[in-house]
Amino acid sequence: MNNIFSQIKRSKEMGILAILVVISIIISAFNSSFLTFGNLLDVVKSNIVLGIMSMGMLLVLLTGGIDVSIASVISAVTVIIGRFMVDYSSNIFLIFLVGVVAGSLMGLINGLLIAKLKIPPIVATLGTMSVIFGLVLYLTNGNWITGIPQNFIDFGRVTIGQFPVAGSDRIQGIPIQFLFLLFAIALTWFILKYTMIGRGIYAIGGNRDSAERIGMNSENITLFIYTYEGFLIGLAGVVHTSIMRQVDPNAFIGFEIQVIAAVVLGGASVLGGYGSVSGTIIGVSLFCIINNGLILMHIPTFWQKIVVGVVLITSISFDVIQKRMHDKKNIRVDIDESESSFKRLSVVQKSTSQA
Amino acid sequence: MAQNMFLRMHNVSKTFPGVKALKNIDLEVEYGEIHALIGENGAGKSTLIKILSGVYQPDEGAEIIIDGVVQKTITPLDSLKRGIAVIYQDFSLFPNLSVAENIAMVSRVEKRKKIVNWRETNQIARSALAKLGLKIPLSKTLSELSVAKQQLVAIARALVNDAKLIVMDEPTSALSRGEVESLFSIIRNLKEQGISILFISHKLDELFAISDRFSILRDGKYVGTFGEDELDDDRLISLMVGRKIEYKIFEKRTLVDPIFEVRNLSKAGNFKDISFTLHRGEILGITGLVGAGRSELAQAIFGLNPSDSGELILEGKRLQVNAPEQAVQHGISYIPENRLTEGLILKKTMSDNICLTVLKQISSRHGLIEKEAQNKLVEKWIEEMHIRPNIPNMIASKLSGGNQQRVVLSKWLATDPKVLIVDEPTNGIDIGAKADIHQLLRDLSEQGMSIIVISSELPEILAIGDRVLVMRRGKIAAILDGKNLTQEEIMKEAL
């Protein structure tokens, strides 16, 4: 326990956590309803999808990659499961299965383009983003899918526990969707910490050449990352539909920026190698609280976009500048500083050690 | 004798397309021996190591016996399994992972683990560090350690794999004196455990302090293996140098009209206290071992890698150079390594290539290129540099090699430099083309241009340098008169 604490203390996470606390205090000073159980529950509920997707993005960033197709993938997943449950079956298990399989397949395509064809991730995912968004529009004409089966709607309304809401007679429980977020966090944490693929992800992000030199298969790891990310997006798509009870094919346009910003804010380096599940949780929370705070403070919504951009650029700049300073510190030439002869010294040592 | 040998390499050659990098090399390393492998830059040391580690396959006819087993071929995995561990200069470690994980990672991958056992990871790391008698906190992130400690982690990692021969490539280049001493005591400790070390270094003092035997390569050939008591500095240097390459030796001039002066130029971690004067029409050769700070110095003068302190004075005027554009404006041009051989856009015409550096000069006020100005400029350079055939619209790829180089040089000369710095101008090209470049540089100097030639190849420096500046570990070791200079004299200063 002591060890965990000391690890957190010297890490980036602690700094972000401190910012999180400060901002929370500022917002609650402006609006007393911020730090209420009801509001926080709303914040969590409306950001479960962001949270699940941030776990996938974390893996991608850790290897130095990026994925801008995630918004199109989740749009496609919601459209596919929307049509599936309206036209074919309202079996909850099947709906989940279709969602995660569809998401995984789209992720696999990204992975193949990046790992096998060696297309830079930003270009590959830009391409798939355009293709998938195009297909979504073709299939839906931009129309919403409504008429979601009642049992799926009921499933989405399930809550756990009962908590009184301060200042009203309402009683609220924790939404079932929250469990899926916990599942995604736990699974990602386990993969990163306890599987060789997870450690390989860090190794590749730290030094790809070395990783390949000792026999790690960076192609397979890359395939895994994007497929796993697709899997989580599939999950997020089902969770999202269960909250919204309808499918808007345009709901996610621009969402990739938010996910990337939240993960980067949590200390993940766009240069690869650095980032953690705990940091990402803190980063996502901070990101959500800033957004929520802006709403509570009645600041016009276009400011949110500006804030997202500023957050993204500031965190990345911080990262890049830090790396540059670190590189500068690395000495390139060993300057002969001392004029005293090393030779005499060590020869003397050698002869004494022989004698 | 043969039973004592952990490694026997016999008749090892390696041919790359067009170049014979190694010719019939022999190398034998005993069990528990510290063996130095030495040679000039480009003598073939790294190629030999890459064959040993399975990165390259040797030509037919090589015999390699490791630990008594004849190896027909070596893959990187074979090499590891037979107990050979190469510690490259970059250590091949993971800066973002903990010490323990760095040490245990190779064995994890080798055992094809799927799930990570952290307790085992820590145990592996602890016992490897114990073998070295070291205490490094296992949970520390590698990038937080000093370079010296990182190197020890790399050595510990090699021990996990039961290394019997550890190859260390320039292991002391980033270490302080004290750190070198503690590295040496660790190496001696390993030797006592029967582990052999193949030690590659340019620092003779260190080599003599630690090595039992020396194997010397020169020009891709095996010179011989000598016991520590058979050698001294002078003997060693004379065995290392003496590449027999016949260049035309230009007559050395003594020039007196100073044009460019570098005063006390320093940059932390790059070079220190560099002062020299360049004269009008002079060719100054700058040489030294790779890593002595030569290119860093050139890049500082050109503003690519601005210095921390010191002055540049051109024709009596103090220059402010913080970016390449400023250097070019003042009349200093820098042609980086390989640019004389690779600096062409092959699909474009000779004319387009020549104009690249001076597009502003030949453009109208609105930024459009004026054809007439371009033609004039190109004709001038074709004339001056004797480019043949003299057809401006000829596609660059169709020119002969020598004429391509003239085009590249024209491109840089069009900026009208007073001082031209060329970095390794003849790296990797055949002897005829090298001689062409030497002649071109000499012609330019005859016309009054002052030229700094940076080169690792001593015969080249001797052929064209009026004076030779030798750098050693970031400082000027000596500035030598080019008349009657020998390779030995240069190497003595460089080592």
Alpha carbon distances (Å) from A58 to A61, A211, A220, A296: 5, 19, 18, 29
More confident site: B291 or B348: B348
Indicate which CATH number applies to the domain containing B446.
3.40.50.300
Please check whether residue B245 lies inside any domain of the structure.
no
- Residues belonging to chain A with any Cβ–Cβ distance to chain B shorter than 8 Å: 3, 7, 193-196, 198-199, 202-203, 205-207, 209-211, 213-216, 273-274, 326, 330-336, 338, 341-343, 345-347, 349-350, 353
From the CA of B207, how many Å to the nearest CA of chain A? 9
Q: Are residues B362 and B285 in the same domain?
A: yes
Which has the closest alpha carbon to B474: B300, B267, B201, B179?
Answer: B267
The verdict on B242 touching A (C-beta cutoff 8 Å) is: no
Task: Note the CATH number of domain A11-324.
Answer: 1.10.3470
Q: Are residues B225 and B304 in the same domain?
A: no
Q: Do B209 and A193 touch (CB under 8 A)?
A: no
Q: Do A213 and B92 touch (CB under 8 A)?
A: yes
Q: In chain A, which residue's Cα lies nearest the Cα of B146?
A: A330
Q: Which of A45-54, B14-23, B187-196, B395-404 has the highest average model confidence (pLDDT)? A: A45-54
Chain A residues with CB inside 8 Å of B204's CB? 343
Q: Are residues B294 and B356 in the same domain?
A: yes
Measured between alpha carbons, how far is A92 from A155 in angstroms, rounded to an integer?
8
Q: Do A202 and B173 touch (CB under 8 A)?
A: no
Q: Are residues B191 and B44 in the same domain?
A: yes
pLDDT of residue A116: 94
Chain A residues with CB inside 8 Å of B97's CB? 199, 202-203, 206
Chain B residues with CB inside 8 Å of A341's CB? 205
Chain B residues with CB inside 8 Å of A203's CB? 94, 97, 105
Chain A residues with CB inside 8 Å of B296's CB? 332-333
From the CA of A191, how many Å to the nearest CA of chain B? 9
Tell me what the mean pLDDT of segment B146-174 comes to: 85
Chain A residues with CB inside 8 Å of B105's CB? 199, 203, 214
pLDDT (tens, 9 = 90+) of chain A, 355 residues, equals 444 544 544 567 788 888 888 888 888 888 887 888 788 888 888 899 999 999 999 999 999 999 999 999 999 999 999 999 999 998 999 999 999 999 999 999 999 999 999 999 999 999 999 999 999 999 999 899 998 999 999 999 898 887 776 666 677 788 899 999 999 999 999 999 999 999 999 999 999 988 888 888 899 999 999 999 999 999 999 999 999 999 999 999 989 999 999 999 998 988 889 999 999 999 999 999 888 888 888 888 888 888 888 888 888 888 788 777 776 655 555 555 544 333 333 333 333 333 3
Tell me what the mean pLDDT of segment B296-313 comes to: 86
Q: In chain A, which residue's Cα lies nearest the Cα of B118?
A: A194
How many structural domains compose chain B? 2
The verdict on B485 touching A (C-beta cutoff 8 Å) is: no
Q: Which domain holds residue B327?
A: 258-494
Residues in Cβ contact with B256 at an 8 Å cutoff, skipping those fewer than 6 apart: B279
More confident site: A285 or B269: A285
pLDDT of residue A8: 47
Domain boundary among B240, B275, B296: B240
Q: Are residues B339 and B227 in the same domain?
A: no
The verdict on B473 touching A (C-beta cutoff 8 Å) is: yes
**Phi, psi angle pair for B353, to nearest 5°:** -65, -45
Of B177, B270, B296, the CB nearest to A338: B177
Number of CB pairs < 8 Å for A and B? 120
- Looking at the predicted structure, is the pLDDT value of residue B66 above 70? yes
Measured between alpha carbons, how far is A112 from A115 in angstroms, rounded to an integer?
5
From the CA of B101, how many Å to the nearest CA of chain A? 9
Quickly list DSSP for A118-138: ---HHHHHHHHHHHHHHHHHH
More confident site: A243 or B2: A243
Chain A residues with CB inside 8 Å of B308's CB? none
List the 121-160 stretch of B: residues with Cβ below 8 A of A: 139, 143, 147
For residues B461 and B490, is the Cβ–Cβ distance under 8 A?
A: yes
From the CA of B290, how many Å to the nearest CA of chain A? 10
Please check whether residue B61 lies inside any domain of the structure.
yes
Alpha carbon distances (Å) from B188 to B132, B164, B168, B191, B225: 10, 14, 14, 5, 21
pLDDT of residue B299: 86
Cis peptide before B389 (omega within 30 of 0): yes
Please check whether residue B246 lies inside any domain of the structure.
no
pLDDT of residue A101: 97
Measured between alpha carbons, how far is B95 from A207 in angstroms, rounded to an integer?
7
pLDDT of residue A86: 93
Candidates B92, B99, B296, B297: best to mutate against A (most CBs of A within 10 A) is B92
Measured between alpha carbons, how far is B407 from B395 in angstroms, rounded to an integer?
11
For residues B444 and B406, is the Cβ–Cβ distance under 8 A?
A: no
Q: Are residues B222 and B274 in the same domain?
A: no
Tell me what the mean pLDDT of segment B348-361 comes to: 84
Measured between alpha carbons, how far is B359 from B345 in angstroms, rounded to an integer?
15
Measured between alpha carbons, how far is B212 from A234 in angstroms, rounded to an integer?
64
Of A199, A331, A334, the CB nearest to B101: A199
Task: Tell me, rounded to whole angstroms, the distance of Cα B236 from its chain centroid.
Answer: 21
Residue A161 corresponds to which tokens in the numbers above? 């526990």
Chain A residues with CB inside 8 Å of B180's CB? 342
Please check whether residue B58 lies inside any domain of the structure.
yes
pLDDT tens digits along B407-462: 888 888 888 888 888 888 877 666 667 777 888 888 888 888 899 998 888 888 88
What is the helix (H) or strand (E) element at residue A183, kind and residue range?
A: helix A177-194
From the CA of B407, how many Å to the nearest CA of chain A? 33
Q: Are residues B88 and B187 in the same domain?
A: yes
The verdict on B205 touching A (C-beta cutoff 8 Å) is: yes
Q: Are residues B228 and B299 in the same domain?
A: no
Q: Are residues B206 and B262 in the same domain?
A: no
From the CA of A334, how many Å to the nearest CA of chain B? 6
Q: What is the 3-class SS of B406-467, one letter each residue?
A: HHHHHHHHCCCCCEEEEECCCCCCCHHHHHHHHHHHHHHHHCCCEEEEECCCHHHHHHHCCE
pLDDT tens digits along B123-144: 999 998 988 888 889 988 898 8
Of A7, A207, A333, the CB nearest to B94: A207
pLDDT tens digits along B83-103: 888 888 778 899 899 999 999
From the CA of A202, how many Å to the nearest CA of chain B? 7
The verdict on B184 touching A (C-beta cutoff 8 Å) is: yes
The verdict on B65 touching A (C-beta cutoff 8 Å) is: no
Domain spans, chain A = 11-324
Please check whether residue B253 lies inside any domain of the structure.
no
Q: What angle do CA B235, B236, B241 make, to 5 degrees?
A: 105
Domain boundary among B191, B206, B240: B240
Q: Do B269 and A193 touch (CB under 8 A)?
A: no
Which has the closest alpha carbon to B163: B32, B36, B286?
Answer: B32
Confidence band, pLDDT 50/70/90 cuts, at residue B344: confident
Please check whether residue B251 lies inside any domain of the structure.
no
Query: Could you tell me the sign of the dihedral formed by the alpha carbons of B333, B339, B340, B345, in that order?
Result: negative
Q: How much is the mean pLDDT over chain B? A: 84
More confident site: A163 or B270: B270
pLDDT tens digits along B362-420: 888 888 888 888 888 888 888 887 787 878 888 887 877 777 878 888 888 888 888 88
Tell me what the mean pLDDT of segment B32-61 comes to: 86
Share of chain B above pLDDT 70, in %: 96
Domain boundary among B240, B269, B295: B240
Candidates B79, B97, B175: best to mutate against A (most CBs of A within 10 A) is B97
Half-sphere exposure (Cβ direction) of A337: Cα atoms closer than 13 Å: 10
Q: Are residues B236 and B378 in the same domain?
A: no
Chain B residues with CB inside 8 Å of A3's CB? 139
pLDDT of residue A350: 37
Of B108, B177, B296, the CB nearest to A333: B296
Chain B residues with CB inside 8 Å of A333's CB? 269-271, 291-293, 296, 473-474
Confidence band, pLDDT 50/70/90 cuts, at residue B245: low
pLDDT of residue B133: 83
Q: Do B96 and A202 touch (CB under 8 A)?
A: yes
Q: Are residues B117 and B186 in the same domain?
A: yes
Q: In chain A, which residue's Cα lies nearest the Cα of B274?
A: A335
Of A196, A213, A347, the CB nearest to B209: A347
Q: Are residues B54 and B182 in the same domain?
A: yes
For residues B121 and B108, is the Cβ–Cβ distance under 8 A?
A: yes
For residues B133 and B155, is the Cβ–Cβ distance under 8 A?
A: no
State if pTM tops 0.80: no
Please check whether residue B356 lies inside any domain of the structure.
yes
